[in-house]
Amino acid sequence: NRIQMSGRGEVGAGGGPAGDLYVEIVEIAHETLMRDGDTLHLALSISMVAATLGTKVKIETLDGPTEVEVKPGTQSGATITVKGKGMTHLRRGTRGDLIVHVEVKTPTKLNKSEEELMRKFAELRGEKAGEVEIKDHDQSFFDKLRDAFGR
């Protein structure tokens, strides 16, 4: 982006009128935040236990650290909106939101005792090994997917 400020540059040769000043704005990628207009996005990876039991997580915002509550039972793909922690909206002075996208990490390598605990947990919940459920189309899921890819 480039801003032209007429008459704000250096004085012309021989005392002529001042030229134009061009200010070039370069936006560089942030390490953890992604910008979409005045909304910021942050990916948060949490353990299966933290997602199940709930937790409070300290995240970095443009204003410094803030605490976000991950509610018990949070699923992978859930979002948490932090109001007013996005970018300042041009010409209005109001701020956008920070959207935290939650990814629940499922353990991949379990030792014998962990595997045994997981089987016991499933048994306590009345779940059977290999039992799955095919779901109907969830419109909100496809809306989220479409929004994510800008279609």
Please write the tens of the pLDDT for every residue from 87-96.
Answer: 998 788 899 9
Sketch the domain layout of the chain as residue ranges. 1-30, 31-128
Please write the tens of the pLDDT for every residue from 28-59.
Answer: 888 888 988 899 999 999 999 999 999 999 99
- What is the SS3 string spanning the chain? CEEEECCCCCCCHHHCCCCCEEEECCCCCCCCEEEECCEEEEEEEEEHHHHHHCEEEEEEECCEEEEEEECCCCCCCCEEEECCCCCECCCCCCECCEEEEEEEECCCCCCHHHHHHHHHHHHHCCCCCCCCCCCCCCHHHHHHHHHHCCC
**Domain 31-128 fold:** HSP40/DNAj peptide-binding domain (2.60.260)
Please state whether the predicted TM-score (pTM) of the whole model is above 0.85: no
Please write the tens of the pLDDT for every residue from 101-151.
Answer: 999 999 999 999 999 999 999 999 998 877 888 877 665 655 665 666 555
